[in-house]
Amino acid sequence: MNCDFSIGETDKRIYGSFVEHIGRCVYGGIYDPTCPEADNLGFRKDVISMTKELGVPIVRYPGGNFVSGYNWEDGIGPKEKRPKRSELAWFATETNEIGTDEFAEWCRRADTQAMMAVNLGTRGPDAARNLVEYCNRHSGSYWSDLRGKNGYKNPHDIKLWCLGNEMDGPWQIGHKKAEEYGRVALEAGKLMKWVDPSIELVACGSSSMKMQTFGQWEATVLEEAYDVCDYISLHIYFDNIEDNLPNFLAKSVEMDSFIETVVSTCDYIKGKNRKNKTINLSFDEWNIWYHAAAANEAYMRKRTWDIAPAFNEDIYNFEDALLFGSMILSLLRHADRVKIACLAQLVNVIAPIMTINGGGSYKQSIYYPFLHASKYGRGKVLRTLTQCGKYDSKDYTDVPILDTIAVENEENSELTIFAVNKDLEEDVFTRFSLQGYEGYEVFEHIVMQNNDGKAVNSIERPNVILPISMPLSDNGRLETVLPKLSWNVLRFRRKSTN
């Protein structure tokens, strides 16, 4: 590794997350007035505390599939006057007890910023520009003055906006063809930026690289809406339904390929149309998702229209945390173009944080790689040349046993190497060559490892999966052992001369 071989600076927004009106993410998740941990507005202080610990800089809201049928006006004003709606994305009843103002207030309490999505499914440019006016204009107009009457005199000042969600998916409310979506995104984006020229906009990319529309969708949308868009979105979820661990851990290779393909498409349209602006990437949905699949399908078939049903609540095991860690490394490896990323989601629904209605919470296995990356993975990302063994799996070839990336924090004069050892059988003895970092030594080696790959945390046993600090080699030498099937954080700093 050489200090001059830099990929780029991390944008802190790659450590974002996602709160959608689905299951118990909002009601019972960030908001539960029955909980002893609730504050004066009913927000769970334990969830706020963990959100702060994770250092989440942005949170996407209110969806997701939910947003494509959402009337944002339902969620403002006196709560007793807000309508209950049949919510068609997840076949639940939406009470609208939490809406735009409440979420903006939750963001302030959680030290984060909202990344707001507008409905381009059942609605369009008019509702979108009105929402921007409601959130961002100081006063002197109908919507800004209404916000003041609703108790929020100062603007919410939301700077990052999503132009709909997964509009190429047939499951999406108001599903559109690429040309149709591109046109409405252009017109909505145009009006939104006329209201507030300082905002940034994310256009919908294809909802999955497995979609037949993938690739051509991005190209067509950018042909239409390039001038108003600043980013295009990517979404990916991995599963281990086949219970094939080597193949599962190799899936980060697919994530790398996904990113690079979308970058190529953006740059092709830029060159073809002789544009000066570069479109960067917003990976605003990513995670592992499969544990609750059967229960989810059964619930969706019943259509009981419950309020905040326990839904999509994957319980993550140790194996999941390893691929999850590699997915974070994939984001860092592309820090030059991936400027935004949102772990989907924050609480209860495919999430690192789990709560019990009425009180009690715990951290899932995936919480810890996210925490470490957010805490130590901010700064200059360096290319790592890793010499290690490789393996072939069912769907992938030449998969490196070690997945690594390095990040330099110049302000703290620290260097961090993140590493996932994917070897099922062997610990790996590792030496580090830090060119340009003479005099640096290891001062901390954090390891997360478990001999039971199916182990999980729970409310009764919250620390089954927990990172530990490993003993260091003599004199802080640049070598260590990475245990088999492990997530590793190695922190370096200049050796003291005292």
- In the predicted model, is pLDDT for residue 149 greater than 70? yes
Could you tell me what percentage of the chain is helix, strand and coil, using 3-state DSSP and rounding each to the nearest 5? 30, 25, 45
Residue 5 and residue 383 in contact, taking contact as beta carbons nearer than 8 Å: yes
pLDDT for the residue numbered 492: 94
How large is the average pLDDT for residues 198-213? 97
Structure tokens, 334: 């592309």
Q: Clarify whether 166 is annotated catalytic.
A: yes
pLDDT for the residue numbered 478: 80
pLDDT tens string 368-424: 999 999 999 999 999 988 889 999 999 999 999 999 999 999 888 899 999 999 999
Percent over 70 (pLDDT), the chain: 98
Q: How confident is the model at residue 57 (pLDDT cuts 50, 70, 90)?
A: very high
Q: Clarify whether 187 is annotated catalytic.
A: no
pLDDT for the residue numbered 497: 58
User: Which own/partner pairs from 268-276 qualify as long-range (CB within 8 Å, at least 24 positions apart)?
Assistant: 268/219, 269/219, 269/222, 269/223, 269/226, 270/226, 273/223, 273/226, 275/226, 275/227
- CA-based radius of gyration for the chain: 23
3-class secondary structure, 97: coil
How large is the average pLDDT for residues 182-187? 98
pLDDT for the residue numbered 370: 98
Average pLDDT, the chain: 96
Return the bridge partners of 468, or none: 447
- In the predicted model, is pLDDT for residue 498 greater than 60? no
Q: How confident is the model at residue 4 (pLDDT cuts 50, 70, 90)?
A: confident
Q: How confident is the model at residue 3 (pLDDT cuts 50, 70, 90)?
A: confident
Q: Is 375 exposed, middle or buried (0-12, 13-18, 19+ CB in 10 A)?
A: middle
- In the predicted model, is pLDDT for residue 114 greater than 80? yes
pLDDT tens string 315-333: 999 999 999 999 999 999 9
- In the predicted model, is pLDDT for residue 438 greater than 90? no
pLDDT for the residue numbered 474: 62
Give the span between the Cα atoms of 334 and 235, in whole angstroms: 15
pLDDT tens string 226-277: 999 999 999 999 999 999 999 999 999 999 999 999 999 999 999 999 999 9
pLDDT tens string 88-102: 999 999 999 999 999
pLDDT for the residue numbered 2: 73
Residue 249 and residue 326 in contact, taking contact as beta carbons nearer than 8 Å: yes
- In the predicted model, is pLDDT for residue 468 greater than 80? yes
pLDDT for the residue numbered 476: 55
Q: ∠ at Cα 427 (421, 432), nearest 5°? A: 70
Structure tokens, 61: 């809201």
pLDDT tens string 233-247: 999 999 999 999 999
Q: How confident is the model at residue 29 (pLDDT cuts 50, 70, 90)?
A: very high
With b for 16 or more beta-carbon neighbours within 10 A and e for fewer, the 284-300 pattern comes to bbbbbbbbbeeebeebe
Cis peptide before 64 (omega within 30 of 0): yes
Residue 413 phi/psi, 5-degree rounding, is: 50, 45
Looking only at the bridges linking them, the beta strands covering 380-382 and 6-9 are: antiparallel
pLDDT for the residue numbered 477: 65
Catalytic residue among 73, 133, 224, 285: 285
DSSP string, 217-277: HHHHHHHHHTTT-SEEEEEEEE--TT--HHHHHTTHHHHHHHHHHHHHHHHHHHHHTT-SS
pLDDT tens string 339-349: 999 999 999 99
pLDDT tens string 351-365: 999 999 999 999 999
pLDDT for the residue numbered 398: 95
Q: Residue holding tokens 């108003």?
A: 228
How large is the average pLDDT for residues 158-177? 98
What residue type is 240 in one-letter code? N
Catalytic residue among 20, 94, 102, 166: 166
pLDDT for the residue numbered 397: 96
